[in-house]
Amino acid sequence: MTEGRDVQWVEVGEGQSGQRVDNFLITRLKGVPRTLVYRIVRKGEVRVNKKRVKADYRLQPGDVVRIPPLRLAPREAVKQVSEGLRNLLAGSVLVEGPGWLVLNKPAGLPVHGGSGVKIGLIEALRQVREDLDFLELVHRLDRDTSGCLLLAKSRPALLALNEALKGHKMDKRYLALVAGRWPSRREFVSARLDRYDAGNGERRVRVDAAGKVARTRFAVRETFPRATLIEAEPVTGRTHQIRVHAAHAGFPLLGDDKYGSRDGEALARQLGLSRLFLHAESLTFPEPSSGRPVQIRAPLPEELEAVLSRARESR
C-alpha cells in the first residue's frame, strides 16, 4: 500500500494478541516506511478504541484500530517489488508450516530496508505474500550471507520460536570458506564482541574485553592447500559473530570485505569468488504447535559449489 483515501477500522483477532501496535501497522501497511508509521502514531492519527496510544502499546483481541488515509511522497515510498525479485522470493521458500516458513535467502539482499536501502527481504516478502496478515523475522542473516532464514506467520508462532531461540533450542549451522589451514584441534572460539562506528557511518564489530560474551563452535569439513571449508555453529547470536571470530582466530572468511585479509582477497580472486563465502546450511527448531523437531537444509548456491570445485582442482 502506498496510498489510501479512506480511514480503515481494523478489529484485532487472536492472532495479533499481544503484538505491539507499531509492528501491527508495519505488517499491515505494506510499502509504508517505518518512519511514517511512527509519525502517525506519535501525532495521534492512529487510535485504538478511539484513544491515542504509544508505539509500544500491545493489542488485545477485540481492539479496534483506526488507520488514517496515507499519501506518500515518491521519496518516502518503499520500493515496489520487481517481477524478478518477486519470482526469486517465491521460489526461495524451502519449507512452509502452519505458523512459519523457512526461506533460502539470496546473498546480497538485506533482511530489512534502511540506510539507503529502499526495500529489504521482509518488506518485499510482505508484498509477495499478500495472503498473510502477519509476517516477522525470527532471526537475521547478514546481507551477504545466503541460506536458511526462519520467519513467523503468526504472533503465537513468533513468541514460541523466540523462546526456542533464547533457550538455545534452535540449532543453526553455517558453511564458510576461510583463508589458511584451520587446525582440526581448534573447536571453540570464545571472544567478547563489541559494536563500534567505523567512521563512515558503518557499524562494525571487533573483539574487545568490554564487549558481550560470544562463543562459536567450528569444525573442519574439507581442507585445501590454502583454504579450509569449515562448519560454524554460533552458540551465541552476536552481529557478524562467525566472521569476526574466524578472523580473530587467524582464518578470515574469503570474500569478506569487512574483516578479510589481503591474502584472502587474492585467493578469492583466484578462485573466482565474488561474494562472501558464508551460507546458513541447516536450521533445526521445535515446531511451535507440536514441539517436534524440524530440520531444514538449504543447498549450497551454484556459485559457491563452483568455487569449491576450483579449490579441489588446485590440490
Active site residues: 142
Q: How is residue 308 annotated by DSSP?
A: H
Strands 278-286 and 171-179: antiparallel
Helix axis angle for 83-90 and 121-128, nearest 10°, is 90
Report the candidate in 284, 283, 280, 288 with the shortest Cα–Cα distance to residue 161: 288
- Separation between Cα atoms, residue 56 and residue 166, nearest integer Å: 21
- Quote the cell numbers at residue 25: 501497522
Scored b (16 or more CB within 10 A) or e, 3-17 reads: eeeeeeebebeeebe
Half-sphere exposure for 40 (CA within 13 Å, toward CB): 23
| Residue 41 DSSP symbol | H
> From CA 52, how far away is CA 45, in angstroms rounded?
8
Distance of CA 280 to the CA centre of its chain: 11
CA distance 56 to 70: 21
Contacts of 82 (CB under 8 A, 6+ apart): none
CB atoms within 10 A of CB 136: 19
Closest to 15 measured CA to CA, from 6, 2, 32, 28 = 28
Consecutive H or E run containing 283: strand 278-286
